[in-house]
């Protein structure tokens, strides 16, 4: 006598086989496998599959477009360069003004932070690398404590030339767990990795704290 497959085993097999369509779940009155496969080939199911794929493509395209939006990057750059906090992007009056005279939609500040700030930061670091080259450079670490007793250190550097007065650059700003030789040393090393990620020029800098 052939072994009868239990209902629970059948259900698990159905879930494993048909749960990867990616569409919204719906009840199908079928107790046979071929009835489910017939439903998957119906015009309604195929139409829903096509719509979902188109929506996915549009979403990816829009996300990529937003990420590389020149307007968003320019807006973020203008705010940061003017020392204007990005949360000001939520100001209703400012939003209406920009939309009225430019027709542009202002992205959410969190979108700007996620997709634009890092791009601009990398551009600035690249410019510093081109200016600094292989040195020689000076490095200064300035540590301060704020009202909340947090230790914050700024790493400042510039070129050392006898005839050229180099511009100073703020390479990084970090919060330290505490201020001592170990945390400052780690910060100094991390800053040099930012400047020279492939090969740190240990013999081409002068450090003072």
pLDDT in tens, 21-66: 555 455 555 555 656 666 566 656 555 555 555 554 444 345 445 4
Single out the residue in 125, 142, 163 at which a domain terminates.
125
Domain range enclosing 94:
68-125
> Does residue 136 sit in helix, strand or coil?
coil
Is the domain of 72 the same as that of 47? Answer: no
38 within domain boundaries: yes
> Does residue 21 lie in a domain region?
no
Lowest mean pLDDT among 5-14, 65-74, 85-94, 167-176: 5-14
How do 169-176 and 151-159 pair as beta strands?
A: antiparallel
pLDDT at 207 over 50: yes
Report pLDDT digits (tens) over 118-139. 899 999 999 998 888 887 888 8
- For residue 100, being part of any structural domain is answered with yes
Please count the other Cβ atoms lying within 10 Å of the Cβ belonging to residue 153: 20
Position of tokens 């450079």? Answer: 137
| Whole-number Å distance between alpha carbons of 48 and 56 | 12
The count of structural domains within the chain is 3
Specify whether 118 is located in the same domain as 159: no
Query: Residues of 7-37 as b/e, b for ≥16 C-beta within 10 angstroms?
Result: eeeeeeeeeeeeeeeeeeeeeeeeeeeeeee
Co-location of 145 and 202 in the same domain: yes
156 and 200 co-located in one domain: yes
Q: Please, what is the angle between helix 33-40 and helix 7-18, to 10°?
A: 20
Contact 82, 76 (CB under 8 A): no
Q: Are residues 112 and 153 in the same domain?
A: no
In a domain, 36, yes or no: yes
- Confidence category of residue 111, pLDDT binned at 50, 70, 90: confident
* Residues 60 and 83 placed together within one structural domain of the fold: no
């Amino acid at each position: 006598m052939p072994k009868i497959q239990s209902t629970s085993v059948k259900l698990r097999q159905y879930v494993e086989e048909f749960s990867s369509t990616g569409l919204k779940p719906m009840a199908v009155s079928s107790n046979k496998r071929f009835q489910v496969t017939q439903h998957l080939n119906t015009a309604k199911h195929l139409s829903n599959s096509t719509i979902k794929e188109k929506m996915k493509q549009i979403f990816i395209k829009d996300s990529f477009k937003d990420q590389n939006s020149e307007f968003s990057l320019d807006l973020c750059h203008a705010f940061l360069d003017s020392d204007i906090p990005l949360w000001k992007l939520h100001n209703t009056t400012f939003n209406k003004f920009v939309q009225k005279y430019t027709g542009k939609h202002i992205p959410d500040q969190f979108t700007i932070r996620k997709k634009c700030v890092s791009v601009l930061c990398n551009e600035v670091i690249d410019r510093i690398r081109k200016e600094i080259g292989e040195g020689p450079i000076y490095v200064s670490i300035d540590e301060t404590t704020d009202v909340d007793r947090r230790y914050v250190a700024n790493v400042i550097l510039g070129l050392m030339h006898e005839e050229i007065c180099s511009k100073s650059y703020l390479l990084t700003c970090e919060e330290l767990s505490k201020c001592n030789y170990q945390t400052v040393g780690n910060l100094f090393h991390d800053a040099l990795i930012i400047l020279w990620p492939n090969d740190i020029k240990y013999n081409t800098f002068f450090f003072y704290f």
